[in-house]
Amino acid sequence: MLCRTANDLYWASRHMERAENTARLIDVTLRMALLPERYDRGKAEAAPWRRALDALGIADTVRERYGIIDGDTVLKHLLLAADNPSSVYSCLRAAREAARAQRVAITAEMYEDLNASWLEMRGNSWARIHGDGISNLLEWIKSRSASFRGVTIGTLGRGEGYHFLQLGAFIERADWAIRLLDIAGSQHNGDAQESQDAADYFRWSALLQSLSAFETYRRLYRESVSAQNVAELMLLQESNPRSLLTCTHTLHNVLQTLAGGEAMEAVRRAGALSAQSRYARIDEVLGNGLEAWLQDAMTRLTGLGEEIHRQFMVSTDIAQTAQAQSQSAA
Amino acid sequence: MPNGFDEMHDLDGAVRPHYQVFDHWLQSTPEAQIARKRREAEIAFHRVGITFSVYGEDSGNERLIPFDLVPRIVPAGEWRMLEAGLRQRVHALNLFLDDVYGEQRILREGIVPRELVLNNSAYRLEMRGIRVPGGTWSHISGIDLVRAGDGAYYVLEDNLRVPSGVSYMLENRRMMARLTPELFNRQQIAPVERYPDALLEILREAAPGGIDNPVVAVLTPGSANSAYFEHAFLAQQMGVELVEGADLFVRDSSVYARTTRGPQRVHVIYRRINDEYLDPSVFRPDSLLGVPGLFDAYRAGRVALANAPGTGVGDDKSVYPYVPEMIRFYLSEDPILHNVPTYQLRREDDLRYTLDHLAELVVKEVHGAGGYGMLVGPASTKAEIEEFRQRILARPDNYIAQPTLSLSTCPTFVESGLAPRHIDLRPYILCGRRIHVIPGGLTRVALREGSLVVNSSQGGGTKDTWVLEGGA
């Protein structure tokens, strides 16, 4: 398969997954913004929205561009901004363009599905979204992502193309598992113990709901919602389809298939990352500091993404030329 | 202007024999059902995305080329003549190309004026002296035919560079088989479905010697190109890679594709980009579409290009008047298909005649294509004719003129119902070890009443083309 094809497929599914997770991020943020001020210091200053932007590392960009950070600016930026390459609008456009360029490598139904999503998104406006209600749009985005995933699973042959679509989706989903846990964990509670408990419950359950994981939680833990259990569910539980373990385990499997027995750095990295989630204990993770653990996982995940790119999407002739140039420059 | 030849009805209005099965279907099918089928076709074409994008429009606005439910039907006997004529013409054109880049016998003997070929902007000096495998220069040819008022077929032009439209031939057939399967049972219609298979066969035959299992790729300018759908479609139908210039590189005079498993040799390239853009180190240096070093690899015989660079000199409108002479010269046969009588304005007599009769003639630029840069005298205002006269006078050798042919008509669905509209026909001819003439082609229809311009860029539509088997 051409490097360009692998790259386009990887990014088509990555962008769809990103759109879906952006919808989920907005969902959890909207829910948190419902919490009264005394449970959430700084709420009046739009703290939930700032935290959402911090999770994406774009708070400064948004502040510079719009002058202020409030609910509406964040929503516009994440949903509709054509100049934000990660907005839902841009994601659907990029996924559709990649699919159009790779029509030969995917099924007609996959292209039609992405084309339909893009054509509808293109006709959206802030006034219309506001009129119909944000929730409807978020549901629509999630269902478009589900539709593409379903059409892919149901129609595309299990070849290299399928594997690269899988890689893109699961790298992106792993990334969000870490980010979403990070925002819910970084909220500053009010002071009173009573309000702290209530706030804890509220924010963790909001996170579970936005990830459609509330039912899974109830089935697994049969007890009240706690930070420790949610973190375990998000990071270490194989039964959660969006957990870091599920994502990294899938990445490892797919990469092993692609490597076909060949020793490959990407396989090693994915295996190590998957083992780190599989054999960790949540009490140890929290005991040593959740934030540091998440930071480390994110670094490794980013490294894995770069390694996948280097292994499959850059032709060896270009890699050699670049290497030769950097050597002669040195 | 004489009345056009009606493909379906004779002069008395009776249905011609080869249209009788279709006519019976048309008369016995309720109007509402036909309307439903037409809608179904439109929806299906949109869904599959058989569209062409128009330059300058938003990438979301790919346009649909209108499809018409009434097929063009060619009786078996007529097709036998056309097939023999196409085979002969394409054979001679390949011999001509091989000659003008080789020995130049036809120039030495004065059959075709030397300067017309050697000073032609489509003549590639870089190809001089190159021997192409099997002497095949134009592997894929599309010959545009029209039928005039007298019922005779004429060749309007030859397309030997990167002829397009074959995906419509295939998709239109698929659509008709889906909408009117009963018609395929009631008569024998020659299949066109084998085209991608025959294309793959001739491409593999073009591979450099000594390669057992050649790797074939389709080279496209990319998804912004108006014919991108067709490039993707053909690659998919043949099961080969669709590549852009940046996917290929040349090392040690061999062409490689950049794949997830490292560089992979490519032996045959069906290129859908023009000569000028193939290789920035030889042709246009600003081309971002091509592959640096490609021409070097080609010259070294390490990769095959289909069609060969330089075929444009064979389909140039200034060379066109000489094709009948080529057939006599190379094959010692009489041409089976006729040219439209053509005035060459570089000749004084022809120029004088043309300037006196502009209102009756069609004037074309010799290098023009796609229905641009031409004058259709009878359909133009005085002012337009005068403006064109100045353009001709400034550069007479840039133009040819032909009598305005009344293209044949075929009943076509328009807003008011069925009405006659002008059509042409582009059959496709594939040259490998054998010459394959695909029984059918792309029928284009001018949807505006009275219009003679069938190009899709000018609002033309398409029809399925049925070649009947058996009978006259």
Confidence of residue B306 (pLDDT cuts 50, 70, 90): very high
CA distance B118 to B124: 9
Q: Is A103 exposed, middle or buried (0-12, 13-18, 19+ CB in 10 A)?
A: buried
Instruction: Pick A51 or B20 by higher pLDDT.
Output: B20
Q: Which of B51, B259, B264 to mutate to test the interface with A (most CBs of A within 10 A)?
A: B259
Per-residue pLDDT at B387 exceeds 80: yes
Q: List Cα–Cα distances, B214 to B45, B196, B217, B260, in angstroms.
A: 34, 16, 10, 19
Is residue A28 within 8 Å of residue A183, measured between CB atoms?
yes
Residues in chain A with pLDDT values less than 70: 36-45, 186-196, 329-330
Cα–Cα distance, A296 to A89 (Å, whole number): 31
Tokens of A96: 């559709």
ipTM for the complex?
Answer: 0.80
pLDDT-derived band at B119 (thresholds 50, 70, 90) equals very high
The winner for highest mean pLDDT among A34-38, B53-57, B332-336, B363-367 is: B332-336
With an 8 Å Cβ cutoff, are A315 and B249 in contact? yes
**Which one of A3, A100, A112 has the shortest CB-CB distance to B258?**
A3
Integer Rg of chain B from CA: 23
Q: Is B173 exposed, middle or buried (0-12, 13-18, 19+ CB in 10 A)?
A: buried
Per-chain mean pLDDT for chain B:
90
User: Could you give the angle at which helices A108-122 and B31-48 cross, rounded to 10 degrees?
Assistant: 90
| pTM as predicted | 0.85
What are the CA-CA distances from residue B437 to residues A220, A252, B318 (Å)? 68, 52, 26
Give the C-alpha distances (Å, rounded to integers) separating B450 from A149, B299, B407, B447, B454: 50, 49, 10, 9, 11
If you average pLDDT over residues B283-305, what whole number do you get? Answer: 91
Please say if the pLDDT value at position B334 is more than 90: yes
At residue B84, the 3 state secondary structure works out as: helix
Whether the CB of B365 is below 8 Å from some CB of chain A: the reply is no
Q: What is the DSSP letter of B6?
A: B
CA B313, B316, B317 angle in degrees (round to 5)? 155
Minimal CA separation from A14 to chain B, in Å: 18
> Of A132-136, A179-183, B267-271, B434-438, which gets the smallest average pLDDT?
A179-183
pLDDT surpassing 50 at residue B59: no
Residue B81: strand, helix, or coil: helix
Nearest to B258 among A101, A111, A317 (CB): A317
pLDDT at B1: 37
Cα B6 to Cα A216, B151, B158, B463, B472, distances in angstroms: 71, 9, 24, 15, 18
Model confidence over B441-453: pLDDT tens digits?
999 999 888 887 7
Q: Beta strand pairing status for B241-243 and B67-74? A: unpaired
Query: How far does the CA of residue A163 sit from the closest CA of chain B (Å)?
Result: 12
Q: What is the pLDDT of residues B186-237, one digit of tens each?
A: 899 999 999 999 999 999 999 998 888 999 999 999 988 888 889 999 999 9
Give the model's pLDDT for residue A321: 76
pLDDT of residue A187: 57
Q: Could you list the beta-strand ranges (E) of B4-139.
A: 51-52, 63-64, 67-74
Residue A190, classed as helix, strand or coil, is: coil
| Nearest alpha carbon to residue A267 among A278, A256, A257, A279 | A256
What are the pLDDT digits (tens) for A90-111?
999 999 999 988 988 999 899 9
pLDDT at B60 over 50: no
Q: Which of A100, A118, A315 sits opposite B258 (nearest CB)?
A: A315
Tell me: pLDDT of B37 over 60.
yes
Higher pLDDT, A205 or B28: B28
Cross-chain Cβ contact B263/A160 below 8 Å: no
Contacts of B372 (CB under 8 A, 6+ apart): B457
Report residue B98's pLDDT band, with 50, 70 and 90 as the boundaries: very high
Q: Confidence class of residue B58 from pLDDT cuts 50, 70 and 90?
A: very low
d(C-alpha A184, C-alpha A201), whole Å = 11
Grade residue B2 by pLDDT with cuts at 50, 70 and 90: very low
A115/B contact by beta carbon, under 8 A = yes
Q: Where does B343-403 sit in CATH, by number?
A: 3.30.1490.270
Confidence at residue B408, expressed as pLDDT on a 0 to 100 scale: 94
Among B191-195, B221-225, B429-433, B457-461, the least confident range: B457-461
Structure tokens at B446: 């001018």
Under a CB-based contact definition with an 8 Å cutoff, are residues B401 and B345 in contact? yes
Least Cα distance to B175 among B67, B84, B264, B249 occurs for B67
Cis peptide before B307 (omega within 30 of 0): yes
Residues of chain B with CATH 3.30.1490.270: 343-403
Q: So what's the pLDDT on residue B245? A: 95
Q: Are B107 and B67 in contact (CB under 8 A)?
A: no
- Tell which residue, B214, B193, B203, B209, has the closest CA to residue B140: B203
What's the pLDDT at B48?
63
Residue ranges per structural domain of chain A: 3-325
pLDDT at position B368, please? Answer: 63
